[in-house]
Amino acid sequence: MRIFVVLLLLTTALLLNACEQETRANPNAPASYNGNWVTFSYPNSWEIKEEKSEASTWIRLQGPADARFSIEIRSLEQAPSLEAYASEQSSEALSPTARPATSGRLHGFTQVLNINGKNHQREYHRIDSHDEAAFLVSDVPTSGAIRAQSGLDRIFTTFAFQ
């Protein structure tokens, strides 16, 4: 019986070690966020932070190649249109380069901006629940987009209200 228990403990330790090594070897392995009335999956190597104010909740993610993703949750009563939200968030008005964007089931728009001399691609989406709206915004320098795109797509396609 002792041999069985020792073998069971060794097997468990080996499996846990293998999972940990796989996570380190694959920084794009998924992690899950479940809180603030929403859930989504994101690469476990990305940093995530939460902020709250009286008017909204922010969930911010930082990925590779200066990729950023933000989710702002507001009550439906305080949620502007997607275009008005984009204008609130950027000193640059919607430009003629804004074009429709579809990430999975989401519809919004993509805009190419010049920020500090670098072209950035920014994508905006809005998802409504019964009483809240979530604004999903990705921002990545176009030169690093290929390194971050799978992570951005993962967040866009798995985001849901609970």
pLDDT of 36-72, one tens digit each? 899 999 999 999 999 999 999 999 999 998 999 999 9
Q: Is the pLDDT of residue 113 over 90?
A: no
CA proximity to 69, closest of 79, 77, 59, 78: 59
Q: Quick one: what percent of the chain has pLDDT higher than 90?
A: 42
When pLDDT is averaged across residues 98-122 and rounded to a whole number, the result is: 75
Domain ranges of the chain: 29-161
HSE value, Cβ hemisphere, 13 Å, CA-based, for 134: 23
Confidence of residue 24 (pLDDT cuts 50, 70, 90): low
The whole-angstrom separation of Cα 46 and Cα 79 is: 27
Residue entry with tokens 């476990």: 44
The predicted structure's pLDDT at residue 116:
84
The predicted structure's pLDDT at residue 40:
96
Q: For residue 44, count other CB atoms closer than 10 A to its CB.
A: 16
State the Cα torsion 47-53-56-57 to the nearest 10°.
20
Q: State the fold for domain 29-161.
A: Protein Transport Mog1p; Chain A (3.40.1000)
The predicted structure's pLDDT at residue 99:
57
Q: Where are the beta strands (DSSP E) in 44-105?
A: 47-52, 56-62, 68-75, 99-103
Confidence of residue 132 (pLDDT cuts 50, 70, 90): very high
Mean residue pLDDT across the chain: 81
CA proximity to 77, closest of 118, 41, 129, 40: 129
The predicted structure's pLDDT at residue 52:
95
The predicted structure's pLDDT at residue 89:
79
Q: Please state the length of the chain.
A: 162
Q: Is the pLDDT of residue 87 over 50?
A: yes
Looking at 55-59, 94-98, 99-103, 111-115, which range is the least confident one? Answer: 94-98
When pLDDT is averaged across residues 21-49 and rounded to a whole number, the result is: 84
| DSSP 8-state secondary structure symbol assigned to residue 64 | G
